Amino acid sequence: MGDQTSEVEDLERIFADTSAAPIKISYAAIKYITKNFAQVIGDGGFGVVYLGSLKKGMVAVKKLFAAKDFSDDQFLDEVTCLKKVNHRNIARFLGYCADTQGEVMEIEGKHRIVEVQQRLLCFEYVPDGNLHHYLKEKTHGYEWNVRFQIIKGICQGLHYIHQEHIYHLDLKPANVLLGANMEPKITDFGVSRCIGEQSTMVTKNFFGTLGYVAPEFIDKQQISLKSDIFSLGVIIINLLTGCHGPVTENWHTAIDVDCPQMRRCIEIAQICVNRDPHNRPTTDEIIHNLKEIETLYHANQTYKPKINEPRDDPRSSLHQIVHRFRALPAGNLREHARYTKVIYFN
């Protein structure tokens, strides 16, 4: 129990110090902070996410499936990528667990002790939903300046991981969480690649999400940093149009352009989704363009619009959920999970 308590205290320290490096966590400590995996708050193709509780806040623990098609090498790749990133627009990685546990299982009519690998990842908990949910809110009516700040934040997060020589390869609205003041945080590095100086790779495995996958990956199985730029372009189009479905060829003609920022973002999105990856811009070029138009926009602006978060907008489905969440007694893990499952992994 002493070692477990010490580990939880270490995790508390990492949680409080945003500059601290991620740590290894034992399976026992993970079971303790999740109340023995009491509450599921989401699931995906590679695992199930559970709610965890610390003294100073809450965490999200992703328990990966013990599947044959998810190897130790893939887990190592993901942890390696996650340990390299620390940025305000990336969901913060707190620690990992890579233990082996003996479990009693019935195999061919006989009970046997089987060694089961436990692979888990621990992250900061981001309670304001994800971008996919935001785009589904047809009645939200959030101002353009909010969407522009989301675009800028995603670009900054992507620029950071590209500087660290990481391909994300599954950038989409569901993998962008929204924190306080609608600050975007890129998450889910399950299919990411840490690369050296090479610019293009060829892979035999298909991954990513149709609609956001670059055409050269579908046609030639080629991946590069420009693959992420294509995905970024589709996300910008989603935010410009307010839709999260497939992008049509003439998507820009349906937008009522009312400001220079929006016109510039339309231009950026069009270049990002160019079929030729060589014609797509870098994140550095995109950020330069956004800063340039933002400076002009603020220079001509006579007032600063108020930014309304979804949880503060009575028209949003998140409004009631989040306010009930805030009113829950501290430490009530079961009730916290009941509401956070809706807003975090919808």
Same domain, 140 and 116: no
Active site residues: 170
Which pLDDT value is given to residue 194?
A: 77
CATH number at residue 194: 1.10.510.10
Per-residue pLDDT, averaged over 228-239, amounts to: 95
Is 68 annotated to bind a ligand? Reply is: yes
What CATH number has the domain bearing residue 35? 3.30.200.20
Question: Does 305 reside within a domain?
Answer: no
Domain span including residue 61 = 2-70+92-125
pLDDT at 221: 85
Both 168 and 217 in one domain: the answer is yes
Q: How far is CA 73 from CA 135, 168, 193, 336, in A?
A: 35, 17, 11, 35
Q: Are residues 136 and 102 in the same domain?
A: no
Q: Residue 197: what pLDDT?
A: 57
- Does one domain contain both 138 and 159? yes
Give residue for tokens 């420009």.
Answer: 226
pLDDT for 47 beyond 80? yes
pLDDT confidence of residue 67? 63
What is the 8-class DSSP label of residue 246?
A: P
Rounded Cα–Cα distance for residues 7 and 157 (Å): 30
Residues 257 and 235 in one domain: yes
**pLDDT tens digits, 138-179:** 545 567 888 899 999 999 999 999 999 899 999 999 899 988
139 shares a domain with 107: no
- Is 211 inside any structural domain? yes
Q: Same structural domain for residues 151 and 226?
A: yes
The residue with greater pLDDT, 297 or 266, is 266
**27 assigned to some structural domain:** yes
As a whole number, mean pLDDT of residues 96-113 equals 78
Within-domain flag for 226: yes
The single-letter code of the amino acid at 68 is K
Per-residue pLDDT tens for 234-258?
999 999 988 877 788 888 887 877 7
Same domain, yes or no: 45 and 160: no
Q: How many CB atoms lie within 10 A of CB 101?
A: 11
Count of domains in the chain? 2
Long-range contacts of 63-66 (CB under 8 A, 24+ apart): 63/37, 63/118, 63/119, 63/120, 64/119, 64/120, 64/121, 66/116, 66/117, 66/118, 66/119
Answer yes or no: are the C-beta atoms of 53 and 33 closer than 8 Å. Answer: yes
Whether 203 and 231 share a structural domain: yes
Say yes or no: 121 and 136 in one domain.
no
Q: Quick one: which H or E segment has residue 27?
A: helix 27-33
Task: Assess whether 103 and 173 both reside in one domain.
Answer: no
Asked, for residue 154, whether it belongs to a domain, the answer is yes
Handedness of CA 112, 115, 119, 120 (dihedral sign): positive
- Examine residue 149 and state whether it is found in any structural domain, yes or no: yes
Same domain, 224 and 286: yes
Is there a domain that residue 274 lies in? yes
Q: Is the model's pLDDT at 306 over the cut of 70?
A: no
- Determine the residue type at 112: R
Q: pTM of the prediction? A: 0.81
Is the residue at 66 inside a domain? yes
